[in-house]
Amino acid sequence: MKYTSWHFNNIYKTARIGDGTKIGSYVEIGDKVKIGKNCIISSGVFIPGGITIENDCFLGPKVCFTNDKYPPSHGKHWMKTLVKQGAKIGGHATILPGITIGEKAMVGAGAVVTKNIPNKETWAGNPAKKLKKDTNKQKRN
C-alpha cells in the first residue's frame, strides 16, 4: 500500500490504508481500521477500531470517531461505523458509534452525529440534523 503519512502518527499494524491516501500529523488509526483509496485524513483525527472509511473521503482536522456506546466495555460493546464513498466530514465533528454516513454526504464542522446520514445529504449541528436547504454542491452522478 502506498499512502502518505506525516510525523507523529499512531497507525496500528492491523490497519489497512488504500493507495493515494494522505494522512496529516498526530492521527490515531486503530486496530483493524479500513481506509480506502485517495482519502484525506487531516491532522489530529482519531479513528478507533471498528471504523471503515471507503474511497475518496475527506476528514477535516480533529474529527473524532467513537466505537464504544457504554465505555469502558473493553471491546465487548464496540460498534462498527461506516463512512461511504465520497463523504466529507468537517473539522471537529464527532461521530458516535454504529453510524453510517452515506455516499457523498456532508457533515458540518463541529457536528455531533447521532443518527445515520443518507446518501448526498448535508447535516450539521449538535445533535446533527439535515439542513432544510441542502447545500451539498458536490457532483451527484
| pLDDT tens string 24-55 | 999 999 999 999 999 999 999 999 999 999 99
**For residue 140, is it within any domain?**
no
24: which 3 cell numbers? 496529516
**For residue 141, is it within any domain?**
no
Residue 125 is predicted with a pLDDT of 98
**For residue 11, is it within any domain?**
yes
Q: Answer yes or no: are the C-beta atoms of 121 and 107 closer than 8 Å.
A: no
How many CA atoms within 13 Å lie on the side-chain side of 41? Answer: 33
Q: Answer yes or no: are the C-beta atoms of 82 and 100 closer than 8 Å.
A: yes
Which residue segment(s) compose the domain that 75 sits in? 1-135
76 or 119, greater pLDDT? 119
pLDDT tier for residue 72 given thresholds of 50, 70 and 90: confident
Residue 139 is predicted with a pLDDT of 56
**For residue 36, is it within any domain?**
yes
> Whole-model pTM?
0.91
Give me the DSSP letters along 43-89: TT-EE-TTEEE-TT-EE-TT-EE--BSSS--TTTTB--EEE-TT-EE
Q: How many domains does the chain have?
A: 1
DSSP-derived letter for residue 5 is E
pLDDT at 124 over 90: yes
pLDDT tier for residue 135 given thresholds of 50, 70 and 90: low
Provide the terminal-to-terminal Cα distance of the chain, rounded to the nearest Å. 28
User: 41: helix, coil or strand?
Assistant: strand
CATH code at position 36: 2.160.10.10
- Among residues 70, 68, 90, 63, the alpha carbon closest in space to that of 81 is found at 68
CA angle 94–32–38, rounded 5-degree value: 70
- Mean pLDDT is lowest, of 5-9, 17-21, 114-118, for 5-9
**For residue 2, is it within any domain?**
yes
**For residue 56, is it within any domain?**
yes
Give me the DSSP letters along 10-24: EE-TT-EE-TT-EE-
pLDDT tier for residue 15 given thresholds of 50, 70 and 90: very high
**For residue 101, is it within any domain?**
yes
Q: What is the rounded CA–CA span in Å between residue 102 and residue 27?
A: 23
**For residue 31, is it within any domain?**
yes
